[in-house]
């Protein structure tokens, strides 16, 4: 039973997250011949204020770039 865990910053739509789950499931099916019903996917969303790169949070980075 493949277990795929993804940690990503919050901010994506439910549709985007659904596409990610489907793509990861399909990738496991193709790569290791896993049946779809055996593939487990967990998405962990982290607030941008709790994710930092180079000492700067994603929230700070987004504020500085306006995106």
Residues tagged active-site: 2
Closest CA to 36 of 13, 4, 8, 5: 4
Q: How far apart are CA 43 and CA 20, in angstroms?
A: 9
Q: Where are the alpha helices (DSSP H) in the chain?
A: 14-32, 58-65
């Amino acid at each position: 039973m493949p277990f795929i865990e993804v940690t990503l910053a919050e901010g994506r739509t439910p549709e985007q997250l659904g596409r990610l789950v489907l793509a990861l499931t399909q990738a496991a099916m193709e790569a290791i011949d896993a049946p779809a019903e055996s593939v487990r996917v967990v998405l962990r969303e982290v607030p941008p204020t709790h994710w930092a790169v180079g000492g700067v949070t994603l929230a700070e980075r987004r504020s500085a770039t306006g995106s």
